């Protein structure tokens, strides 16, 4: 009898350097690639249409690439343990292989799958989603790292695995039926956002374009908001359309060792791993502060301020541009993610979890570990977080990272005619200038929602009261 293994794809939607897939082909003559639409995920409030749309396209691309090699992707919808049990019976498979996922939801789900398949077939999970396995990098004391820089040194000191190409021949039994291919509306979503193309094929193209044309300038251009200085690879890494090890080695081998662009981009890849291992070792961060003392912070949580922040109508141009970039493109430049997160938590005094949820709903690259880590960093509640007294001034940040205002003008059309001098503080324009440029504050563009100086003092007071004593500055 032909030996068959089910390869359950989840967030590793590629053939290149896919650990579980390679292992399955090494162990079996035929592999059944399957993806399962899970209503427990689709119905979650923070599952956004842009991510489902990107997922669907990535699945189509995976199917095309499988077909080009004589295989195909099987789609099913249902509870994973039931679907997999059914498929094991239908195909007489001897094992289910998948790549591990460290999210608490996924760990519970996968434990349920293991329990359900016990006695029917083998179940194996592989390490795949990062440069290293989440438990592999430890301090000398054997504890997980909670500070980025030493973590990064430790990752760089050990060998990152070399990527391996897809198996040359892919054999799949022809007689296993899948469910019909759903449309986005079949899954309960619609979106008018125009997204980057999903899938492994565009991911490879984007990687090569970035390595050739962007990497050398990355260190200097990544913070220039108007330039396309970032890699734009985050959605592909999120869904595993791109292997992080492939990305790492492509960067290492592209430019001379020690080039600042390479080092800073690789540091970003390591941030991804860092927050993944934080979520793995400290799963309580999903619902609360990494440093638990901060769970008692007295956020003001003004709901109408939150709505204005979400819509990009705070009267702070850099914040509004960023929030509108998120809604209209499904993505936000990392520099402005920090700025708007600082603004929500330190200026509006709103719970970082509200912002985290909004980001998850709208980001095409939305990922629990990275998003949570970033939010807790900005809110000063996390590992290796920004000290609470380091508060961004949105106007100063705008002037620094968007000096000509071209990023602001791209997303905030009512400010397009405003001269550079006032682009980051339009409320400072004399009234006759406002009229001359058709941007009357309070009519065409909102007045600043809050006074930054005052809110800053309030935030310092709020944090100062709840900060753990040993972390309080001074003495």
Partner DNA sequence: TGAAATGTTGGGGCG
Partner DNA sequence: ACGCCCCAACATTTC
Compute the distance between CA of residue 420 and CA of residue 417 in angstroms, rounded to an integer. Answer: 9
Which of 108/293 has CB closer to DNA? 293
In which element (H, E) is residue 33 found?
A: strand 30-37
Nearer to DNA, 453 or 469 (CB): 453
Residue 97's φ and ψ, nearest 5 degrees, are -110, 145
Residue 111 CB-half CA count within 13 A = 7
Distance between CA atoms of residues 187 and 218, nearest Å: 38
Cβ proximity to DNA, 197 vs 403, nearer residue: 403
CA distance 188 to 43: 9
Positions marked active-site: 268, 271, 299, 334, 352, 375
Least distance in Å: CB of 398 to DNA? 9
Nearest residue to 7 via CA among 311, 17, 19, 267: 19
Say if CB 317 and CB 412 are below 8 A apart.
yes
Cβ of residue 91: shortest distance to DNA, in angstroms?
45
As measured in angstroms, the least distance from the Cβ of 225 to DNA is 12
Tell me the Ramachandran region of residue 137: left when phi exceeds 0, alpha when psi lies from -120 to 50, beta otherwise: beta
What distance in Å separates the CA atoms of residue 123 and residue 96, rounded to the nearest whole number? 5
CB of 29 to DNA, least distance (A): 46
Between 142 and 474, name the residue whose CB sits nearer to DNA.
474
For the bound state, the minimum distance from the C-beta of residue 474 to DNA, rounded and expressed in Å, comes to: 5
Residues belonging to the chain: 475
The pair of structure tokens assigned to 360 is 């998850």
| Residue with Cβ nearer DNA (64 or 268) | 268
Which secondary structure element, helix H or strand E, spans residue 361, and what is its range? Answer: helix 352-362
What separation in angstroms does the CA of 260 have from each of 147, 251, 257, 267, 400?
Answer: 22, 11, 9, 11, 21
Collect all residues with Cβ–Cβ distance below 8 Å to 415 and sequence separation of at least 6: 317, 405, 408, 409, 423, 426, 439, 445
CB 264 within 8 A of CB 219: yes
- In terms of CB distance, is 202 or 261 closer to DNA? 261
What does the binding site for DNA look like in residue numbers (CB under 7 A)? 148, 271, 334-335, 338, 377, 386, 389-393, 396-397, 400, 452-453, 456, 460, 464, 473-474
Beta carbon of residue 95, minimum distance to DNA (angstroms, whole number): 40
């Amino acid at each position: 009898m032909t030996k068959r293994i089910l390869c359950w794809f989840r967030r590793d939607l590629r053939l290149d350097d896919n650990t579980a897939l390679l292992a399955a082909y090494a162990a079996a003559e035929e592999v059944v690639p399957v993806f399962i639409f899970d209503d427990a995920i689709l119905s979650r409030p923070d599952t956004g249409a842009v991510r489902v749309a990107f997922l669907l396209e990535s699945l189509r691309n995976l199917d095309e690439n499988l077909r080009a090699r004589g295989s195909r992707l099987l789609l099913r919808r249902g509870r994973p343990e039931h679907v997999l049990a059914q498929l094991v019976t239908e195909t007489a498979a001897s094992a289910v292989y998948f790549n591990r996922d460290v999210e608490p939801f996924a760990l519970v789900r996968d434990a349920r799958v293991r329990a359900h398949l016990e006695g029917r077939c083998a179940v194996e999970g592989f390490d795949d989603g990062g440069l290293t396995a989440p438990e592999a990098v430890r301090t000398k004391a054997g504890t997980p790292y909670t500070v980025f820089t030493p973590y990064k040194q430790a990752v760089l000191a050990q060998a990152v695995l070399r990527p391996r190409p897809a198996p040359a021949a892919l054999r799949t039994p022809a007689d296993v039926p899948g469910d019909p291919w759903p449309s986005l509306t079949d899954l309960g979503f619609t979106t008018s956002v125009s997204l980057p193309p999903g899938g492994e094929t565009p991911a490879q193209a984007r990687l090569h374009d970035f390595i050739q044309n962007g990497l050398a300038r990355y260190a200097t251009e990544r913070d220039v908001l108007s330039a396309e200085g970032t890699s734009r690879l985050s959605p592909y890494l999120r869904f595993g359309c791109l292997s992080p090890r492939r990305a790492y080695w492509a960067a290492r081998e592209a430019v001379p060792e020690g080039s600042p662009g390479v080092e800073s981009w690789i540091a970003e890849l390591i941030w991804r791993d860092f927050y993944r291992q934080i979520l793995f070792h400290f799963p309580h961060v999903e619902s609360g502060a990494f440093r638990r003392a901060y769970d008692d912070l007295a956020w003001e949580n003004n709901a109408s301020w939150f709505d204005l922040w979400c819509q990009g109508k705070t009267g702070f141009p850099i914040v509004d541009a960023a929030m509108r970039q998120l809604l209209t493109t499904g993505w936000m430049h990392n520099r402005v993610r920090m700025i708007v997160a600082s603004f929500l938590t330190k200026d509006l005094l709103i719970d970082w979890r509200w912002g985290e949820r909004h980001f998850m709903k709208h980001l095409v690259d939305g990922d629990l570990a990275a998003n949570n880590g970033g939010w807790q960093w900005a809110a000063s509640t996390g590992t290796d977080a920004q000290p609470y007294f380091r508060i961004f001034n949105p106007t100063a940040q705008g002037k620094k990272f968007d000096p000509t205002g071209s990023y602001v003008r791209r997303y905030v059309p009512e400010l397009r005619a405003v001269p550079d001098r006032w682009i980051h503080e339009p409320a400072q324009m004399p009234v006759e200038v406002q009229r001359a440029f058709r941007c009357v504050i309070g009519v065409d563009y909102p007045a600043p929602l809050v006074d930054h100086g005052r809110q800053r003092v309030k935030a310092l007071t709020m944090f100062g009261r709840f900060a753990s004593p040993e972390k309080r500055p001074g003495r």
